[in-house]
Structure 1
Amino acid sequence: MKKLCIIGGMGPLASCEFNRRIILSSPAKTDQDHIETLLISDNLMPDRTQAILTGDDQDLLARFKSHFELGESWGADFFAIPCNTSHYFMDDFKKMTNKKILNMVDLAISDAGDNICVLATRGTYKTGIYRKAIEGAGKNLIELTEDEKDLSMETIYRIKAGEEARQENFPEFQAMIQEKLEAGGKILLACTELSLIKFDDPRIIDAMDSLVRAVIDEVY
């Protein structure tokens, strides 16, 4: 069975949730049937948005390189990184390992509809990684106002700060989502902190779930 290395800690709770969803999605019947997994939860990883906005990314890249090396020495067959913003550095990551790295951005776009509203960090918006993937797939990106982007970022960092990820704790954010849905779009949760909020609407696509399915497909 293939062995998985998760490079996480961005944030720590989101990484735990990602691993939990993998376990729950597995067809395993015994402990030994589950995917052998190395979870690297590096909560000291520099803020990805700040690294992108300032260009000061050397420490971040050095930490990723050490994690890829650790994963390879452990025997990982492939890697998953449950952090959307960090996928901006995918070209750099591919130079750090010859093992497969699942691309959460491409996977999420494949699962989303034709009209997509992306909720993410300022760093993700700045990089345009989802814009490029959406346009490359021939789909339409629903643009957000600057205030709406700020609201998305504020919600993410409130969750990082320890606020419980419940819909009722973020009424303005929830109202924005409802407005976009009523306009005919699909919502794409493109930050793993937002994955911690429980949504039951099938029009809300979670990039974390896309990555979970890809892990399961890679192994079983």
Structure 2
Amino acid sequence: MTMIGVLGGMGPLATVDFMEKVINLTRAESDQQHLPMMVANLPQIPDRSRSILSGDEAPLPYLLKGIDLLNRNEVGLIAIPCNSSHHWYAQMCARSAAPVLHIAETCVAAVPAGVSRTAVLATRGALASGFYQRSLAARDIEPVVPDDATQHTLDTCIRDIKAGRLAEGSAALADVLATLADGGVQAAIMGCTEIPVAARQIGATAFPLIDSTLELARATMMYATTRGWNRF
């Protein structure tokens, strides 16, 4: 049996959100028609954003140990439902025996046609790493990074979701989206996997929101089902 490997725990709610989306995307009429997953839920991995901003490599040994764990279980694909960890994507790919999906590439590919200005909603570390900005620019889409005050509100949203304060996190995200709408962005990438959790309680928005967790889940499901991993 070939399994999907999930390097998770960053944070735990985001990991569960990813798994639920893979399940919901999979066409199945019985347990046996769903995709097998090996989930390494490792919440003790040091804060990725803080390390990127300070220039240290504290998360990397933990990330590589997670890859090793999935390697030992012979998974056929690895998905990592944490955006900031993709700062170390090259090192994780070099360690992995299986292909590793890149969350930003799957997400940027979902930007609607005709959109020329897209906001990147992410941790300060992911923004400093720049992988979303590079992926958007490669498709001739202007990346819009929030100003410091808006980013501060987004930081609050992410902290609230990690702490289980879902209503507070959703309210903070709503404030961010209102500010961006006034700035004329045409779409926004939810480039931190806590943000889609916050977005669940928000109604209609002025522009499309691209869910990095959903796009990663969609790419994961497509990769696995086209190879028949859900055929019992």
Where 1:56 maps in the other structure, the secondary structure is coil
SS of equivalent to 1:141: strand
Residue of structure 2 equivalent to 1:24: 24
CA distance in 2, matches of 1:84, 1:206: 11
- Structure 1 residue 184: deviation in Å? 4.3
Contact 2:78 2:99 in 1 (8 A): yes
Question: Does the alignment pair 1:207 with 2:212?
Answer: yes
Alpha-carbon separation, structure 1, partners of 2:212 and 2:193: 8
TM-score normalised by length of structure 2: 0.87
Q: Aligned residue for 1:130?
A: 132
Q: How does 1:1-220 map to 2 (within 5 A)?
A: 2-58=2-58, 60-112=59-111, 113-165=115-167, 169-170=171-172, 173-181=173-181, 183-197=184-198, 198=200, 199=202, 200-201=204-205, 203-220=208-225
CA contact (8 A) 1:116 1:186 kept: yes
For 1:160 and 1:167, the matched residues in 2 are separated by 9
Secondary structure at the counterpart of residue 138 of structure 1: coil
2:210 partner SS: strand
Residue 169 of structure 1 and its aligned partner are, at CA, apart by 3.3
Q: Residues 175, 64 of structure 1: CA spacing in aligned structure 2 closer, same or farther, 3 A cutoff?
A: closer
In the alignment, the residues of structure 2 paired with residue 57 and residue 168 of structure 1 have an alpha-carbon distance, to the nearest angstrom, of 31
Distance in structure 1 (CA, Å) of the matches to 2:51 and 2:215: 25
Amino acid at match of 1:35: L
SS of residue in 2 equivalent to 1:215 = helix
Deviates more, 1:9-18 or 1:191-200: 191-200
SS of residue paired to 1:101: coil
Q: Secondary structure at the match of 1:131?
A: helix
For 2:170 and 2:190, locate their aligned partners in 1 and report how far apart those are by CA, in whole Å: 17
1:153-189 Cα offsets, whole Å, 9 max, x none, are 121012112212567633xx31331342352420111
Measured in 2, the distance between the counterparts of 1:110 and 1:133 equals: 9
The amino acid of 2:92's aligned partner reads F
Q: How far apart are the structure 2 equivalents of 1:20 and 1:8?
A: 13
> Which AA in structure 2 matches 1:175?
D
> What's the CA shift for 1:98?
3.0
| Conserved 8 A contact 2:71-2:97 | no
* Contact 1:115 1:186 survives alignment (8 Å): yes
Q: 1:2 touches 1:35 (CA, 8 Å); kept in 2?
A: no
Is the 2:107–2:216 contact (alpha carbons within 8 Å) kept by the matching residues of 1? yes
What are the superposed Cα offsets for residues 44-76 of structure 1, whole Å, 9 maximum, x if unpaired? 010001111122214x21111121121122120
Secondary structure of 1:83's counterpart equals coil
Unmatched 5+ stretches in structure 2:
226-232
Structure 1: stretches of 5+ with no match in the other structure: none
Write the deviation string for residues 174-219 of structure 1: whole angstroms up to 9, x where unpaired: 1331342352420111111111021454711111111011011101
Identity of aligned residues (%): 24
Amino acid at match of 1:37: M
